[in-house]
Amino acid sequence: MYEERPARLDGAVVWSIGPSPVGEESVPVLPDGCMDLLWHDGRLFVAGPDTCAYVPEGGPGRYAGLRFAPGDAPALLGVPASALRDRRVDLGALWGEARARRLAERVAAAPDLAGALEALAVDRAMDAPATDPLIRAVAMRLAAGRPVAETADAVGLGARQLHRRSLDAFGYGPKTLARILRLQRALALVRAGVPYAEAALRAGCADQAHLARETRALAGTTLSAYASDWAKRETPQPSGSSTTA
């Protein structure tokens, strides 16, 4: 079962997933503009920013994760987001194998895996540079549906400067980030039962066909398939059954 709660780091979320039933397929992870620090099967690793749907390959077992707000992870991890785009990387490759192994053992020994992972990130954040307020402003404006050009003007950056800084902070340029955040807004409305055409317009798409193309391109599925799969996950299943993601 998936559970999440706000983390002690501003804008971050702590989450956990219990062991999956035998035969249950992995649920694709859709792009959301975020990066995660994860623990699974005694291993700590980082999920970089995705540009398309990712199907987990870690197998059964328990997962714990901390999802950073868009743009926050690079300062804490010490690596540009673009270096981790569409990648899952062992923490040892970033912080050193011995240190990563000690931290993974500390998390594994804790009664609350997610809480231990959060504490690890909080400790690291005390010594890491703070996120640039300008980057936070960019993320907030794009998440609210403001145009890229207007966002550049509002934060006082030229188009090239905004693109370069976005690559470091988010893993891709501002136009790609805006598309991903727009899709997330639309899918949240779909999950709430809003008709597709209305969800498209409210999220900032030109029309339903535009949203359908973006869903296919970024999520690798169709609107109807996404809504159907979400309904299956939200509907209690008889004992011994599983849902298909």
For residue range 157-188, what is the model confidence (pLDDT) as tens digits? 999 999 999 999 999 999 999 999 999 999 99
Query: Quick one: pLDDT at residue 216?
Result: 96
pLDDT at site 240: 35
pLDDT of residue 7: 96
* Confidence (pLDDT) at 237: 38
Q: Which domains, from first to last, does the chain contain?
A: 2-127 (no CATH), 133-234 (1.10.10.60)
DSSP string, the chain: -EEEEE-SSTT-EEEEEPPPPTTPPPPPBPP-S--EEEEETTEEEEE---SS-B---S-SS-EEEEEPPTTTHHHHHTS-GGGGTT-EEETHHHH-HHHHHHHHHHHHHSS-HHHHHHHHHHHHHHHSPPPPHHHHHHHHHHHTT--HHHHHHHHT--HHHHHHHHHHHHSS-HHHHHHHHHHHHHHHHHHTT--HHHHHHHHT-SSHHHHHHHIIIIISS-HHHHHHHHHHHHSPPPTT-----
96-102-103-104 Cα dihedral, nearest 10 degrees: 100
Q: Give the pLDDT confidence score for residue 86 in this predicted structure.
A: 96
Report pLDDT for 169.
Answer: 97
Residue 215's φ and ψ, nearest 5 degrees, are -65, -40
Walk along the chain (245 residues) and give the pLDDT tens digit of each residue. 788 999 999 999 999 987 765 455 667 889 999 999 999 989 999 999 999 999 877 566 789 999 999 999 999 999 999 999 999 999 999 999 999 999 999 999 999 999 999 999 999 999 999 889 999 999 999 999 999 999 999 999 999 999 999 999 999 999 999 999 999 999 999 999 999 999 999 999 999 999 999 999 999 999 999 998 888 766 443 333 322 22
